[in-house]
Amino acid sequence: MFAWFAGQLPSCDVFRSSLYTIDIGQNDFTSDLASQGIEYVKRTLSSVVSQISGTIQDLYSIGARKFMVFNMAPIGCYPAFLVELPHNGNDLDEYGCMTSYNTAVVYYNELLNNSLSEDRKTMQDASIVYVDKYSIMLELFRHPEAHGLKYTTKACCGYGEGAYNFDQGLYCGNSKIVNGQAVSATACRDPQNYVSWDGIHATEAANNIIASAVMIGSYSYPPSELLKLCHP
């Protein structure tokens, strides 16, 4: 089996010219937060960063030279987590985001950034780009009007209305019986005004802004345009 797979691997030139993107899923971070707490999850983050570094080293050993590594977004601002994760009013900042959870994300992002700095020292002929997705999203949550948006911590597609329009028992597109009546989590009529699509994912409007920032490299370190990274 291994011999067959190895025979199908691309050439070293393909590995060297390709761009590898690495992005931890935010659910990998949030799945134990409610039950285990922030401090427990923080203790596991160094192993996550080590695995990312190890993956880069493994890819480098077979010829890869261009990497784009995304940090974690500010989960403390997402409607779903504002509903699901335990907190009180004192934990909310002036933008309606949970300070404690965002602080934990910043801790992870610093670990990741420091790890990539060390990787650059040992892989000096590689381009290892750190993409600050946290700052991109935080800007949208804090100053939506500056980017043509309006609603930040309220989901477009959800159920429950209120501040977040998110019900953890009724996700976007689903239906259920509530008090003897069939109800559905449906989309808003103006998704172009929202940062959050379903409480967890960004809308197309927000993703366009995020993609533009990634394309021009304005939130990347070292500053790197995506087009140049993709060029052979």
Q: Examine residue 3 and state whether it is found in any structural domain, yes or no.
A: no
Q: Examine residue 50 and state whether it is found in any structural domain, yes or no.
A: yes
Q: Examine residue 2 and state whether it is found in any structural domain, yes or no.
A: no
The CATH code of the domain that includes 61 is 3.40.50.1110
For residue 125, the enclosing domain spans 11-230
Give the pLDDT score at 72.
95
Residue 230: pLDDT band (50, 70, 90) is confident
Q: Examine residue 28 and state whether it is found in any structural domain, yes or no.
A: yes
Residue 119 pLDDT more than 90?
A: yes
CB 132 within 8 A of CB 143: no
Residue 32: pLDDT band (50, 70, 90) is confident
Q: Kindly provide the residue ranges of all beta strands, DSSP E only, lying in the chain, ordered along the sequence.
A: 19-23, 66-70, 127-131, 175-178, 181-184, 220-221
Q: What is the mean pLDDT of the chain?
A: 91
Q: Examine residue 90 and state whether it is found in any structural domain, yes or no.
A: yes
Residue 181: pLDDT band (50, 70, 90) is confident
Residue holding tokens 């381009």? 127
Structural domains in the chain (count): 1
- Can you read off the two tokens belonging to residue 168? 């953890």
Residue 165 pLDDT more than 50?
A: yes
Q: Examine residue 153 and state whether it is found in any structural domain, yes or no.
A: yes
The sign of the torsion formed by the CA atoms of 89, 94, 97, 99 equals negative
- pTM reported for the whole predicted model: 0.90
Q: Examine residue 6 and state whether it is found in any structural domain, yes or no.
A: no
Q: Examine residue 189 and state whether it is found in any structural domain, yes or no.
A: yes
CB 59 within 8 A of CB 67: yes
Q: How many angstroms separate the CA atoms of 162 and 166, rounded?
A: 8
Eight-class DSSP state of 84: H
Using a 10 angstrom Cβ sphere, with 0-12 exposed, 13-18 middle and 19 or more buried, the burial of residue 17 is middle
